[in-house]
Each structure stands twice: as structure tokens, then as C-alpha cells.
Structure 1
Amino acid sequence: MDHHIPLITTLAAGFGIALLLGFIAEKLKIPALVGYLLAGIIIGPATPGFVADVQLAGQLSEIGVMLLMFGVGLHFSLKDLMAVKRIAVPGAVVQMTLATVLGMGVAMFWGWGWGAGLVFGLCLSCASTVVLLKALEARGVLESQNGRIAVGWLVVEDLATVLVLVLLPPLAGVLGGNVTEQSSSGNIWLTIVQTLLQVAAFIALMLIAGRRVLPWLLWQVAKTGSRELFTLSVVAAAISIAYGAAIVFHVSFALGAFFAGMVMRESEFSHRAADESLPLRDAFAVLFFVSVGMLFKPAVLIEEPLHVLAVVAIIMIGKSIAALGIVILFKYPLSTAMIVSASLAQIGEFSFIMAGLGVNLGILPQEGMSLVMAGALISIALNPLLFAAIEPSRRWIIGKSRVARRLERRQDPYAQLPMTTERKYLEGQIVLVGYGRVGRRIAAALDERGIPYVVAEQNREAVEDLRAKGKAAVAGNAADPAVLIQAHIAQAAMLVVATPDTLGVRQMADTARKLNPQIEIVLRTHSEEESELLRGDGTGTVFFGEEELAKGMTHHVLTRFAPKKNNGH
């Protein structure tokens, strides 16, 4: 039997050691990603013992990049970005610029060329999607306004990084790297325009044809009832589109897979596609991180400790201070600024993809890849500690600094109704908590009937838009009594909670009852147990989503069936 089986040994060693170290990392409350990277270091050529096939690992990592970017595209939400665009777009652009300038500065101080410095700075400027989402989710703030700002900020960073990945190959010669086929023409501007036109053609094809063809194909496969065929169709679409985009339009695998995910998100099968492809995406994502770890040279920690410290300082201090200052300038509370800055104080998968591309193009030296890796390992490992330190640090700073106390308590112009608000919104009105999918429909129905209402919404930009349309709205969490007081709950006829805020709904109801004992309260829940508890407590009229859906469907069935039944008799 032929025992020269490098693919199997690479997979066995990669998965096995990644499982062990990922498990240990999770037990230590560190993201499992750190364990995967360490697994790559152990089986890489820079450490003694077993060495996996680097070339094979590189190809497997390309598949990992495709599926990783496909997953990012599947979860990419332009709607989430637009909800916080006024702070996320300028914030991300300024923060990425500052981090890039800092990285470029230290790189040139070390004697690197300006092109290598630029790529190095860009690698340090983009945070990890995986780490940020898991950190916010673990702390229960992913769906909060602070979480939405951090995610929107990250979406802008992702889009900017995708653009950089597209432009790097044609600019390789100018940046001091290898002259590629894309960068071989004499006029660099012509090359850039050609590249952007190719990207635009690919995006147009995906948005026009892809949005129709992919959902239709998924529907045809779904009709067979075969789960494995559906999973195969999702994975085949991701890899085939990524490969086709690279061959036909000369764009990266990453961009092709990203847009494949974005287009598939438009399909009604997007959630099923995400669920069915998740195990394979996770498996190859692990291989991607393992293969990145194989490129790391641990000797850099001993040979160039000051360089490593400078990288970590840029990632965890420079980026954090920039994000903190930007959020404060936009008049958000100190607590919001600290959560956003902690969320972005790390780097991950996009940094590895960009650094790997920079090395392959001859722009970034191998040392740069090792420094990016070192910075990622240390910043990801320390990121949970940053989150844990937010609340104690905030209390200490507020206790010691008068300026910090003013920042935390300063008046948000959208946190109170303007003095010019019409009297009809201040007495006998409905206070509508939440302006999401349910809240918007309720508001539209109230507008049609001319019933006055005041919206209490955490999203400041939504409040700003409502006020621009002449609507009464206040920004803030309605679980805070001050928000309901600003909405004139004491004089309101009804409180309608249209957001499924399990934790805050009781506090909202209690505040409303204390200030207005006669007020009618209408609540929305997503849990049958919670709806029973709220009804038992007499909190108000409770609407449970699945229950109301069943009532509506039952009514439709009975009204259709009743005449036929009567005719039969």
C-alpha cells in the first residue's frame, strides 16, 4: 500500500491538532481561532517535528478563503449598514486611514519601502468579522445599538478591504512588487480603470443575472427534496462562481465568493443555504487559519520583540483610541465609544488574506506576514480581556474625571422631544417603542388614521430620519425611565412595545404604570413561556408571534372552508 498520502496526513494533522488546541482555547475563554493558528504553527516548517505539506495546505486555504468570503457575503446586510451609516462610514474610513498611516510609518522607519508599508498598514487596519461577532454575541450586545454600530463599522471595513484586494494586483509593480500580467501595461491608470471595469462587469452580471438564476437553481434543487443535493448546489455555486470570476473577469477568488454569497442572500433559501453550508464552511475556515499559522515564524517574537510590540500597540491602542475619539465626536455616550473601540482592537482573516496576497505579489516581505500573524494572535487572545475591562474602566474613569462624567451624561439632542413639538403628541398619544419591521407597520397604520404617536427608538439615525419627516421621536432604550418620560408617557393613552426586548419589557411596563396608572399596554413577545408569564402578571395585552400567525391562518382556512361545508349539507 502506498503510504505517500500528503493530503490525508495534512488534513488529519490539521484537523486533529486544531480540535485539541481550539478546545483548550475555548476553555481558557480565548477565541478558538487562536488555537487553530497555533495548530498551524506546530505543523508548519518553522517548528520541529511533523511538517505538513505547505503547498497542499495553501490550496486548501484558498478553498477556505472562498467559503469564508461566501459566508461573509451570505450574512452581509446593506440594511444593517444603512441603519448606522452616519457614524459607521466616516468612522471606519478615518480609523482605517489612521491605522494604515501608523503601520506605514513604523514600516518605513524599519527601512521597508513605501509600498510594503502601505500594505502592512492596511493589514493592521481591518478587524476580524469572526472575532467581533462572537465577542458581541457572547456578551449579549450583538442586537443592541452599540452592537449594530460595531457591526456596521466592520461592514465598511470589509467593503474597503475587498476593494483593496481587487486593486493590489494591478498596482503591484508601482508598489515595488512583482510585475503581474495585470500591472504590465505602461499606463497604470489605464490598468486600474480596466480592473475596475472588469469588477463592475462581474458585479453587474451577478446583480442582474445572478439574482435571477441562482434562486431559480436553488428552487429546482429544493424541489427534489434531497438535502445533500441542496448542500452540494450551495457549495458548488460558491466555488464555481469564485473560480469563474477569477478566470473570466480576473478578479480574486475572495471577491467572487463574496458576491456569490451576497446574491444568494437575496434568495428565499438564504437561511437554509447558510445552515446547510455551515459545517463545510467551518471546516475549511479552520484549514485556512491552520495554513496561515504554517506561514508564521515564531522566531520573530524573540528576534524582533520591539517590532511585535509596535504592531500590537497599533492594533490595540492606536485603533482603539481612533475609534473612541470618533464615536465621542459623534456625541455618543462614553460606554458606546468604549464598546466600539474594544470590538475593533484586533485583526484576523482579512488581514491574513491581504498579507498573503502582498507576499505572493512580492510587495510585502515574509517578515511582514509573521508580524501580522503575531499581532493577530496577541490581539485576539487579549480582546476578551479588553471587553471584561470596559465596565470597571468606565466606572473608574467617570469617578476620576469630570470630563468623562460630562461625556457620559451629556445631552443627546435626539434624546428629548424638541420644544416645538405639537401638543397632540404630548397628550393622549400612543408611545410606540421600536421602529423595526413591526414598528414601521404599526406607525404606517396610525398615520393612515391620523392617530398621533411618539416613537422611542435606540437607533439615533432612525430617530433623525423620523424627525426630518416631521414625526415625534426620541432616541434611547425605553427600559430607561428617562426615555419614556421624554416621550410624555404620563399623558399617553397607550404604550405599544413593538420590539421583542425580553429583558426590558417589564421595566418599560412598570415605568409606564407608575407614571400613568390608567395607561393601556400592548406588548410583543417571541416566547410562549414569556407570553404566559406576562399575561399571568396582568402586564398588558400580549401578542405572541406564532400564536397570531396561527390565528390568521386558521381564520383564512375556516372562511374558505365554511361555505363549501354548508353547501354540502
Structure 2
Amino acid sequence: MPHDITLIATIAAGFGLAMIFGLIAVRLRMPPLVGYLMAGIVISPTTPGFVADIGLASQLAEIGVMLLMFGVGLHFSLDDLMAVKRIAVPGAVVQIAVATLLGMAIATMWGWDAGAAIVFGLCLSVASTVVLLRALEAKGLLKSINGQIAVGWLVVEDLVMVLVLVLLPALAGVLSGDAAAASGRDLGLAMAITLAKVIAFIVLMLVVGRRVLPRLLWWVARSGSQELFTLSVVAIAVGVAFGAAALFDVSFALGAFFAGMMMRESEFSHRAADESLPLRDAFAVLFFVSVGMLFDPAVIWTQPLKLLLVVAIIMVGKTIAAVLLVLAFRYPLNTALTVGASLAQIGEFSFILAGLGVNLGLMPAEGQSLVLAGALISIAANAALFSTIEPFRAWAIARSSLARRLEQRDDPLAALPMTTDARLLHEQVVLVGYGRVGRRIADALREQHIPCVVAEQNRERVDQLRREGVPAVFGDAQTPEVLIQAHIAKAAMLVIAIPETVNVRKMVEIARTLNPEIAVVLRTHNEEEAELLERESLGTVFLGENELARGMAEHVVRHFGRGAPGGASWPHH
């Protein structure tokens, strides 16, 4: 028997209990993350029984932070953010400011100093990307415009928090009230040095990393070794994060985030994400377990009023602020409610920031426990909150004329402009969705001089299309008003090019009620869904895999100088 098996004991207890409590959480219809946090509480010094090594757990958690942030960077798409930038950027910044001010207000009321209040407020202001993505996936909303806005909003929040993590150590002296550190000259010098190091690291990654890391992945991929490819992905993530901290005094989180961003430039980025996923998930579990180990459950019964105020800010204050902001940008009520519910929780960045605040002596340990307790409660309740969106919207619309006006906005983008020639729209195509697929369809129709009206839920895209002279209406095509404004009654064809098929039936039903002779074309990524849609005679269904196979087969046949492949069977068109 080895003399020291502390590391093995910590990992075994962490993984074992996380699996048990994670399974219980899933059975109770809560995110497994709640179970991981509970596992950490069970093996923490504040509870009886086995106590894991907190020092070792913290180091394992740092690896978890690196891999979590690497995954965020690997999936960070500037294009997706740009598509919703007009609402996501100002919305996220204002919402962070509102939540931070609310947190500062209650911390000041408790007698905490300014530094503790600021850190505490920032901890309550940022939602968990992990929880959000899983909630949107469970509801089938990830690819929808509501999902895109919520994810874009969270990306902006994450970027702001990365900046906070970088600047907080440099500002710690000022925030703690240290008179020596608060002198303008010393503070300016410290800030300048910190920002210079960060800028140097970012420039190095953009200039060198952007070229070297994707090429390195390509060289490794040529070896044909799967384990070597996986090893290279993990080595890059951890190596860049460690190098960033050692050479530039940049946080592990920022280093790993930029490593992921640069790896995204590689054609193997999807494979890198898939290969590193099991390891990322494993260390992410240890991160949440270690966070649970730092939690003191006594805060629940010793400070119930404080905890109630924290949960109220997270689940009520942030939600109301987000809903009002989205409505102010003239998006419909259902979008506002979805974004509001998405932000009604806190997670990994809150834990990282709270830990840093305690380590820097800015925030008391009680603040960290309150943040962790608020996270546990808000994450556990988030799935239930999502399930109330549709019933609440229906209830509000049935009883409130204001809610009806907010859902069906009196909006200049919700109707075709008067300058559009109605004669050109006779026997036209109504195209629902202007994403990657919809854009290509619209381009092909324009080349053939076939009139087309676009129905799109992204205001920015509708605004851009109108500036380009393309007839477009803003709104959800499952509402009759949007299809009526798109002149569905005169249309020859309805083409639904959105990736999700949840509301397709309702769109087709409305279109056929208004125009019984209309032809319908649908897309799907799922063979079972394609068969179901065809069985219900909803229209001509195009399955992504089949169309890819058809295109490749036609290319191969043309290479051999023969006609199009007529003998092959192509189900679902």
C-alpha cells in the first residue's frame, strides 16, 4: 500500500459521489451540476465523515477551469455574436451593471466595505454558460433566435468577467482600502503593467498562436493517431494556460479561453472539441465538487434572510432587468421571457470570481458561501423556471392587453414597407429563416428572378435585408400575423429553412388555412423526424445527410463522365 494516496482518495471520492448525487439530481429533474456541488459538500470539512484534501481539490479544479474555458473559446463564434450584437452587447453590459449595483446595495447594507460589495455584486451578475446551454438544448431552443440572443448575451458576460479576472488582482489594493496602493501613480503603473502584459499575450496569440496552433493540429492529425490528437488538444489547452500565467501573469482562464479561440481557426476544431469533451467533462465535475467543498451549509440556517435577498437578486432582479431590456429593443414577449429565464442563475464564473475575491482578501468567506448557496438554489430552480415560460406567456396574453401588444408589436419591421410593389409578390416564395441555409436559398431565387419574401425573427437581419432592397418581415412565422404580412395568401410556395422543427406544424397549418393550394418545403437533420413529417403530409422534406450524399454521388458520377445517378434510392428527397 502506498504511503500517500491522498490524490487517489480525493479523485475517487469526488467522482464516485458526483456520479451518485448527479444521478439523483437528474432523477429529480434538476441539472447534474447540482449533484456535483452536493458531492463536494458531503466531503467538505464542514460536514461529518470523510474529508477530502481541499488543497489537491483546488489544483484539480484549476485544471477544470482551464478545460472549461478552453471549451468556451473553442465554441466562441464571433459570427454568432455579431448576428445579435445590437441587443447582446448593450443588454449584457446594462444587466451586469444592474445586478452588480443590487448586490453592492445589500452588501453595503450588511456593513461590508466597498471592495467586498463590488466583488459580491459582480459574482451575482453573471450567469452560467454550462447551465444555459444545457437548458436551451433540453427545450430545443439552442438554434432558435431566442437561443442565439441568450447565448450571445452570455458570451458578452463571459468576456466582461474575463476582463474582471485580469484586472481584479491589480486593483485589489485600492478596493481593499490600502492607502499605499491607492496612490494614483502606483495604481496607474500597476494597471498599465497589467494591461500591457494582457495585450502582449493577446497579440502573441492572434499573430503567432492563430497560425501555429491550427498548423500543429494539422501535423498531429496527419499521423493518424487518435490518442496523439487527443493528447495534443489537452496539451495545448493546459500548456497555453500555464504559459500565459507564468510569462504574462494572465489568469489560467484567459489563457485557456484564447487557446480555444485560436484552435477554432483549425479545420479540425470540431474534432478537437469532440476529442477533448470527455476530459473536459471529467475535470469540470472535479471543479464543481471542489466548489462544493468550500461551501459552508451553516449559512442556510444562520443567514436565511441574507440568502433570500441573494436568491431574489439572481432570480428576480436579473430576470426583470433582462426582460425589460429585451422589450426595450422591440423584441416580442416570448423572446424577453426566454432571455430572462436564461439569466436567472449563476455558475462557474461566479465561483471563480468569489474564490479570487476571498484569496485577495477582498470578500469575507461568508460572501463565498452565500454565492455558492445562491448558485445551488438558482441552478436547481432554473429548469422549473424555463418550463413556466409558455404557460405564463399564454396566461398573460389571455388576461392583459399590454402583454398582447408586447407579443404582437406595432413595429415598422413587422410589416412590408409601402415601397414594396405588391404585383412583384404575386405567386412568390415565402422563406422562413435567413440563416446559413435560408441565405443560400434566397440567393438562388434572386439569380432566377423568383420573387421572395423573408420572414425572420432576428431584427438586425430584417433591417439589413430591407437596406439591401429585399422584402422582409420581422416576427415568428408560427403566428398568423407574420405570414399574413408576408403575403402568404398569394404565395406559390412556403419554404421553412429554420433548423428547429418544433413549430413547423403550426406554420404549415396557418399557411394552408390562408392558402390551401400552397406548396411546402421543409428541412430536417433527423431521419425519424423526416419520416414523421412526410407521413403527416406536411410537405416535401429535405434531410441534410441525404442531400450531402446526393451531391457527393453526383460529383463522383460526373467525374466518370456519366449522367446523374438515377438508380440510387434517395428517401425524403
Moved more, 183-192 or 442-451: 183-192
CA 1:430–1:61 in structure 2 vs 1: closer, same or farther (change >3 Å)? same
Report the Cα distance in structure 2 between the residues aligned to 1:390 and 1:449, rounded to whole angstroms. 42
- Partners of 1:441 and 1:201 lie apart in 2 by 40
What is the 5 A alignment of 1:378-393?
378-393=377-392
Q: Which residue does the alignment assign to 2:227?
A: 228
**Structure-2 change in CA distance of 1:56 and 1:442 (3 Å):** same
Match in the other structure for 2:565 = none
Secondary structure of the corresponding residue to residue 543 of structure 1:
strand
Are 1:344 and 2:343 counterparts?
A: yes
Determine the structure 1 residue equivalent to 2:88: 88
Structure 1 residue 6 displacement after superposition: 0.7
Q: Which residue of 2 aligns with 1:356?
A: 355
Amino acid at match of 1:22: G
1:138 corresponds to which letter in structure 2? A
Matches for 1:399-410 after TM superposition, within 5 Å = 399-410=398-409
**Residue 324 of structure 2 aligns with which residue?**
325
Deviates more, 1:200-209 or 1:392-401: 392-401
Alignment of 1:2-17 (within 5 A): 2-17=2-17
Q: Distance in 2 between matches of 1:103 and 1:325?
A: 19
2-side partners of 1:278 and 1:109: how far apart?
43
Determine the structure 1 residue equivalent to 2:71: 71
Task: Read off the aligned partner of 1:344 and give its amino acid letter.
Answer: L
Task: Note the alpha carbon deviations across 1:102-135, whole angstroms, 9 max, x for none.
Answer: 1111111211110111011000000011111111
Q: Which moved more, 1:547-556 or 1:319-328?
A: 547-556
Question: What TM-score do you get using the length of structure 1 for normalisation?
Answer: 0.93
Residues 552 and 392 of structure 1: CA distance in aligned 2, closer, same or farther (over 3 Å): closer
- 1:421-470: CA deviation from partner (whole Å, max 9, x where unpaired): 22354323222222111221222233344443211112222111111222
Asked if 1 retains the 8 angstrom alpha-carbon contact of 2:91 and 2:326, the reply is yes
Whole-Å Cα distance in 2 between the matches of residues 176 and 383 of structure 1? Answer: 34
User: Helix, strand or coil: the match of 1:474?
Assistant: strand
The equivalent residue for 1:56 is 56
Q: Is the 8 A contact 2:140 2:500 kept in 1?
A: no
Shift of 1:525: 3.3
Q: Percent identity?
A: 68
Closer, same or farther in 2 for the Cα pair 1:292/1:179, shift >3 Å?
A: farther
Please, which moves more after superposition, 402-411 or 223-232?
A: 402-411
Indicate if the aligned counterparts of 2:425 and 2:451 stay in contact, CA closer than 8 A: no
What secondary structure does 2:414 align onto?
Answer: coil
For residues 536 and 328 of structure 1, do their structure 2 counterparts lie closer, same or farther at Cα, with a shift above 3 Å needed?
A: closer
Name the amino acid aligned to 1:477. D
Q: Within 5 Å, give how 1:61-460 maps onto structure 2.
A: 61-176=61-176, 186-460=185-459
2-structure distance, mates of 1:536, 1:525: 14
Are the counterparts in 2 of residues 150 and 343 from structure 1 also a CA contact under 8 Å?
A: yes
Q: Which amino acid aligns with 1:29?
A: R
8 Å contact kept, 2:144–2:500: no
| Cα 1:189–1:394 shift into 2, 3 Å | same
CA–CA separation in structure 1 for the residues paired with 2:61 and 2:192: 30
Q: TM-score, normalised by structure 2?
A: 0.92
Given that 1:424 and 1:452 are in contact with CA atoms closer than 8 Å, whether structure 2 keeps it comes out as no
Distance, in Å, in 1 between the alignment partners of 2:284 and 2:97 is: 28
C-alpha contact (below 8 Å) 2:140/2:502 kept by paired residues: no
> Does structure 1 residue 45 correspond to structure 2 residue 45?
yes
SS in 1 for 2:173: coil
Q: Matches of 2:124 and 2:355 in 1, distance apart?
A: 13
* 1:187 counterpart SS class: helix
Q: Over residues 7-59 of structure 1, what are the superposed CA-to-partner deviations in whole Å (9 max), with x where a residue is unaligned?
A: 01111111111111111111111111111111111111112221111111111
Please give the secondary structure, in 2, of the residue aligned with 1:432: strand
Distance 1:295 1:528 in 2: 47
Q: Which runs of 5+ in 2 are unaligned?
A: 563-573
Comparing 332-341 with 60-69, greater Cα deviation is found at: 332-341
Which ranges in structure 1 are unaligned for 5 or more consecutive residues? 564-569
1:236 partner SS: helix
Q: Report the residue type matching 2:132 in the other structure.
A: L
Q: Contact 1:96 / 1:125 at 8 angstroms: preserved in 2? A: yes
